[in-house]
Amino acid sequence: MRFVIAFLFLTSCCYGQHFRKSYYYPQTYYAAPVYAAPVGWKTELLRIAEAKDKYQQQLKLQLDDNKVYLEALSALGYSVPVKQGLIAEQGSTVYGLKYSDVSELYGSLSIDLHFNQADNHVRAAQDLASKVYKVFNLLFKQKDQLKSELQQYLLKLN
């Protein structure tokens, strides 16, 4: 009971001002600016569209000229891959080599064939290692017998 009275006294006289203070934040309203279309926006969009069309027309002319050039080289008998973005004709590299030429030089380019060859080499190495191990064990077992035969032979000589 005394504790309650002391608490009420302290909160009412000394600390009451601090505890009863309210924290009020004044509210302010912010209106976002309204963006109006600039003056002459239609002519600006038309100018941008015209520049885009002009660029696309130049690009199309360059592609057509490149196509004529490649056809002329093909007519002369050259094997010419299309090098736009490193994309080659089907069956050839970007350097003009055909798959058949590369496979004649280096053999088959099949990754499965190379893995099979590696597997065969590993199996052959394992077979050879097991044969060496068997011969070593056979000689190791015969060591004691050969040693005793050598000692008997040396005793006979003396």
The 3 state secondary structure assigned to 120-135 is: HHHHHHHHHHHHHHHH
Number of H helices, E strands in the chain: 5, 0
* Structure confidence at residue 135 (pLDDT): 92
**Which stretches of the chain drop beneath a pLDDT of 50?**
4, 6, 15-16, 85-88
> pLDDT tens digits for 85-94?
444 455 555 5
Task: Name the pTM for this structure.
Answer: 0.29
* Structure confidence at residue 85 (pLDDT): 46
Radius of gyration of the chain (CA): 47
> How many of the other CB atoms lie within 10 Å of CB of 7?
10
Dihedral sign computed on CA atoms, order 50, 52, 54, 57: negative
Q: What is the distance of C-alpha 154 from the center of its chain?
A: 73
Count how many residues are written for the chain: 158
Task: Please give the structure tokens belonging to residue 63.
Answer: 């592609």
* Structure confidence at residue 125 (pLDDT): 94
* Structure confidence at residue 68 (pLDDT): 87
* Structure confidence at residue 20 (pLDDT): 56
* Structure confidence at residue 124 (pLDDT): 93
> How many of the other CB atoms lie within 10 Å of CB of 10?
12
Q: Is 74 left (phi over 0), alpha (psi -120 to 50) or beta?
A: alpha
In angstroms, rounded to a whole number, what is the distance separating the alpha carbons of residues 105 and 93?
15
